[in-house]
């Protein structure tokens, strides 16, 4: 069955929940995602699932029949897959009651992804009355399996006293367990706990560490925090600035890519990395990177000169209005190289 190719739910709650509580609670290793609070946004979801299970006009009926047959025979993965299809209205009429029925059947057979869904559905109150107590029952089962998503969500409940007595220290303990499994949402939330001094002594270095760990996994809220920390840091902590530049460069910021290239060139004399980052920025049309790339190929004596490449990049920078690049281009032309 194709269950292993489907993902479990990804809560799309308010901006606060997305960035502070248990952001983007993604699970099962695949591309499919369910929006618990925005059920109408399913066009992309439907397309993704259709591609994954190769449902076409010719075989969709047989695929669905096979899934239903297996689900009705008690196959827990098929029960989970069928629940997903009902939840998103994929190849069937959307039916939250049927979806819940099959999620629950699968979860009661100890299928972890279905148990995650049960916890998320009760926590969000979507399709069923919101019930933190029932959400916690499912989370407790997952906690015993060292499930990072469950640890992160239960930490949220302890942080805000949702169905449990508020306990910031328990929240931090759970967040640490999940963060140490490299679960980026928990890493972000643990960073937030350290920044606010919530459940642990306030510690900006620890906050930055966990934000940075999450940012390395391309988690935008964490990247924003890393950059924000950089703006607040004093000049005696350049490492923070370098990490911020790295994050921005990895996210495609041409200015940061140019700055990072310059750092590799100036402080490490690493031409290969300098060229790599200059070219990333230059290909985005950033004329300062185009100029410096031309300069490396033209005048850097630590590597073979390549006047053809130098002219190419000088020319692009010159066309964008970089006057020094225009002057260097004119110099190169007189060399007849």
pLDDT in tens, 74-114: 999 999 999 999 988 999 999 989 999 999 999 999 999 99
- Are residues 46 and 88 in contact, defined by beta-carbon separation less than 8 angstroms? yes
| Mean pLDDT of the region 52-65 | 62
The answer on pLDDT for 67 being more than 50 is yes
- The count of C-alpha atoms lying within 13 angstroms of the C-alpha of 11, restricted to the half-sphere facing its C-beta, is 28
The answer on pLDDT for 244 being more than 80 is no
Sign of the Cα pseudo-torsion (268, 273, 275, 280, in order) = negative
Whole-structure pTM value: 0.59
The answer on pLDDT for 305 being more than 80 is yes
- Are residues 285 and 313 in contact, defined by beta-carbon separation less than 8 angstroms? no
pLDDT band at 153 (very low <50, low <70, confident <90, very high): very high
Q: How far is CA 176 from the centre of its chain?
A: 19
More confidently predicted of 59 and 145: 145
- CA 196/CA 298 separation, integer angstroms: 51
pLDDT tens by residue, 208-239? 999 989 988 878 888 878 877 766 654 344 34
The answer on pLDDT for 29 being more than 90 is no
């Amino acid at each position: 069955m194709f269950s292993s190719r489907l993902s479990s739910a990804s809560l799309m709650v308010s901006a606060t929940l997305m960035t502070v509580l248990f952001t983007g609670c993604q699970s099962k290793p695949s591309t499919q995602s369910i929006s618990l609070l925005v059920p109408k946004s399913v066009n992309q979801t439907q397309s993704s699932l259709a591609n994954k299970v190769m449902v076409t006009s010719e075989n969709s009926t047989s695929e669905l029949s096979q899934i239903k047959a297996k689900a009705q025979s008690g196959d827990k993965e098929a029960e989970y897959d069928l629940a997903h299809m009902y939840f998103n209205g994929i190849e069937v009429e959307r039916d939250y009651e049927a979806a819940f029925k099959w999620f629950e059947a699968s979860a009661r057979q100890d299928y972890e992804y279905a148990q995650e869904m049960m916890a998320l559905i009760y926590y969000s109150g979507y399709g069923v009355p919101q019930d933190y107590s029932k959400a916690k029952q499912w989370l407790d089962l997952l906690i015993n399996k060292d499930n990072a998503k469950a640890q992160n969500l239960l930490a949220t409940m302890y942080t805000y006293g949702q169905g449990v007595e508020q306990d910031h220290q328990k929240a931090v303990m759970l967040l640490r367990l999940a963060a140490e499994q490299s679960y980026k949402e928990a890493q972000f939330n643990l960073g937030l706990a350290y920044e606010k001094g919530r459940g642990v002594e306030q510690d900006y270095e620890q906050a930055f560490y966990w934000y940075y760990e999450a940012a390395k996994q391309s988690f935008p809220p964490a990247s924003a925090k890393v950059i924000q920390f950089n703006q607040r840091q004093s000049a005696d902590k350049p490492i923070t600035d370098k990490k911020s530049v790295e994050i921005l460069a990895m996210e495609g910021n041409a200015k940061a890519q140019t700055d990072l290239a310059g750092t590799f060139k100036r402080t490490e004399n690493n031409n290969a990395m300098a060229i790599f980052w200059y070219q990333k920025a230059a290909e985005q049309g950033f004329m300062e990177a185009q100029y410096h790339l031309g300069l490396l190929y033209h005048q850097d004596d630590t590597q073979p000169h390549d006047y053809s490449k130098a002219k190419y990049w000088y020319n692009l920078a010159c066309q964008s209005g970089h006057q020094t690049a225009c002057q260097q281009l004119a110099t190169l032309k007189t060399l007849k190289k």
